[in-house]
Amino acid sequence: MDSETLLWLSLVIPTIGAAGIGLTGRFPNLREGVTLVTAVALWTTVMHLATRVLDGERPSAHGLEVLPGIDIAFAIEPLGMLFASIASTLWIVNSVYSIGYMRGNDEPRQTPFYVCFAIAIASAVGVAFSANLFTLFLFYEVLTLSTYPLVAHKGNEAARINARIYLMILLATSMALLLPAIIWTGVTAGTLDFTEGGILAGTGMPAWAATILMGLFIFGIGKAAVMPVHNWLPAAMVAPTPVSALLHAVAVVKAGVFTVVKVIVYIFGLDFLAETGASNWVVYVAGFTVVFASVIALTHDNLKKRLAFSTVSQLSYIVMAAAVATPAAILGAIMHIAAHAVSKITLFFAAGSLHTAGHLDWISQLDGAGRRMPWTMGAFAVGAIAMIGLPPTAPFLSKWFMLEGYLGAEHRFALGVILISTVLNASYFLPIVWRAFFRPVPEGSHPHGEGPLPSVIALTVTAAMTVGLFLYPDAVFSFAGAVLPGEGGQ
């Protein structure tokens, strides 16, 4: 099968799957079977494309011309291929987890849940394979709209209020900031196509204008959750845990930081940024977000809220590294997209398993939980070590390249942020692990064991992936290095 056909299939499969899920909604086993088959079919298609991209092929497909020079088009390059690979792989694991969680908690409206999930994955693949800013913007918006019902899933007052916050912040930032940035870019460069080396070099754009344009992109890409446009992310914690995993690891936030990196590499270009210094200020804003979000995480006893602010912090690791804009820092940022995905989804899976098994939603409730739920808390410990950035977990490697980039650029502020945040990460993760494994089970507490088997299998798999990407990073490294040919792999 030719690559263009595979590209179209990667967009069509989850869309058809969403329809199939809706049609089989009256039969839960069949509905979930359709979900799993669709997820596996998408993964198989994406993996076929991935091997071809690693071999140097760059598949593309042209869709609809909306206006002269503005069309819906797709082109696969290594960064987009990595994002699509992450989304398609983790959709399978998240689907297995969701079967255990949704049934274990007797969640309502399970069919719309699986339908919206499939549409969200289709949107994430569309973002990943966009050939230009216009196409990316369309799928970026569909991703927002398709995940809004998931955030509002529970249907209670808290869910409705927080879902509105989620929707308003993401739509407001994209419409008021990202869309004008895209229009400005198109007028200045004469194209919206993602191009190696960037499209703004040679346009004569002055440094002050490039700095303002960078600001429109950074804050317009609200899914990257750079402060102060981050509040949608903790607000979304009212959603069921599989949705939190989707938002924080698989699709939404990864679409955000992916877009930031893609704009920096393929719209501005590293040489243009070195010439204008347009991203210099972003390092400080992202660094502030990294540290301040970690401080806020320390104050939360609610486990999902602590994980939410941890995500805000970890996303800005990627933004800060991309803004430093040296090859090693960019390499670290790209690798951290994958490393954070498998690590953070493990933590959310564990949090959902704790909730399902014993309604343990608060850190202060976790005394002795490791004895009762060794698989769940063992996986949580792996995810916690990963968030700190210690071996043998994947984030150790991505942070290593970030540090190499900061040292090469002699960027003391970025180095200081990494060191301070590492201490903060340890301060709010290690006490949870210690409490779970080394404190006694409270007397008179309600007995419980592990969560549903599908959920435990899923969190064990993602914990293994977190270590596996440390031991076998070649595939991720190959994609990341190919983004900056001749530089990124050095």
**466-475: pLDDT as tens digits:** 999 999 999 8
In SS3 terms, 377-388 reads as: HHHHHHHHHHHH
Q: Does the pLDDT value for residue 443 go beyond 80?
A: no
In the three-class reduction of DSSP (H, G, I as helix; E, B as strand; rest coil), residue 451 is classed as coil
> What is each CA distance from 17 to 31, 93, 121, 122, 243, in whole angstroms?
10, 16, 11, 10, 18
Confidence of residue 490 (pLDDT cuts 50, 70, 90): very low
Q: Does the pLDDT value for residue 445 go beyond 80?
A: no
The burial of 436, by beta-carbon neighbours within 10 Å (0-12 exposed, 13-18 middle, 19 or more buried), is given as: buried
Confidence of residue 456 (pLDDT cuts 50, 70, 90): very high
Q: Does the pLDDT value for residue 246 go beyond 80?
A: no
Compute the distance between CA of residue 456 and CA of residue 100 in angstroms, rounded to an integer: 9
- In the numeric block, the tokens 């989707």 are attached to 246
**355-365: pLDDT as tens digits:** 998 889 899 99
Confidence of residue 488 (pLDDT cuts 50, 70, 90): very low
**From 134-138, 192-196, 354-358, the region with the lowest mean pLDDT:** 354-358
Rg of the chain on CA atoms, in Å: 21
| Structural domain count, the chain | 2
Residues 260 and 309 in one domain: no
Residues 198 and 307 in one domain: no
The pLDDT value given to residue 446: 67
Residues 366 and 485 in one domain: yes
The pLDDT value given to residue 435: 94
Residue type, 128: A
Compute the distance between CA of residue 488 and CA of residue 329 in angstroms, rounded to an integer: 9
Element (H, E) at 74: strand 70-75
Domain's final residue, options 217, 243, 278: 278
Residues 147 and 236 in one domain: yes
Residues 21 and 151 in one domain: yes
Confidence of residue 449 (pLDDT cuts 50, 70, 90): confident
pTM above the 0.95 mark? no
Quote the tokens at residue 84: 């699509």
**pLDDT above 90 covers what percent of the chain?**
80
Quote the tokens at residue 46: 């994406």
CB-based burial, 259-287: b 16+ in 10 Å, e otherwise: bbbbbbbbbbbbebbeebebbbebbebbb
Other beta carbons less than 10 A from residue 395's beta carbon: 31
Residues 227 and 308 in one domain: no
**276-295: pLDDT as tens digits:** 999 999 999 999 999 999 99
Q: Does the pLDDT value for residue 188 go beyond 80?
A: yes
Confidence of residue 107 (pLDDT cuts 50, 70, 90): confident
**From 111-115, 123-127, 246-250, 282-286, the region with the lowest mean pLDDT:** 246-250
Distance of CA 487 to the CA centre of its chain: 25
Residues 191 and 174 in one domain: yes
Residues 138 and 254 in one domain: yes
**311-365: pLDDT as tens digits:** 999 999 999 999 999 999 999 999 999 999 999 999 999 999 999 988 898 999 9
Q: Which residues form the domain of 217? A: 1-278
Q: Does the pLDDT value for residue 489 go beyond 60?
A: no
Q: What is the mean pLDDT of the chain?
A: 93
Residues 268 and 318 in one domain: no
- Range 228-239 average pLDDT: 89
The pLDDT value given to residue 50: 96
Compute the distance between CA of residue 273 and CA of residue 197 in angstroms, rounded to an integer: 11
- Range 114-140 average pLDDT: 96
Phi/psi for 442 (5° steps) reads: -60, 140
Residues 237 and 107 in one domain: yes
Residue type, 305: K
The pLDDT value given to residue 487: 45
Residues 213 and 321 in one domain: no
Residues 402 and 474 in one domain: yes
Domain's final residue, options 256, 278, 300: 278
Compute the distance between CA of residue 97 and CA of residue 93 in angstroms, rounded to an integer: 6
Domain's final residue, options 250, 278, 306: 278
Compute the distance between CA of residue 291 and CA of residue 416 in angstroms, rounded to an integer: 10
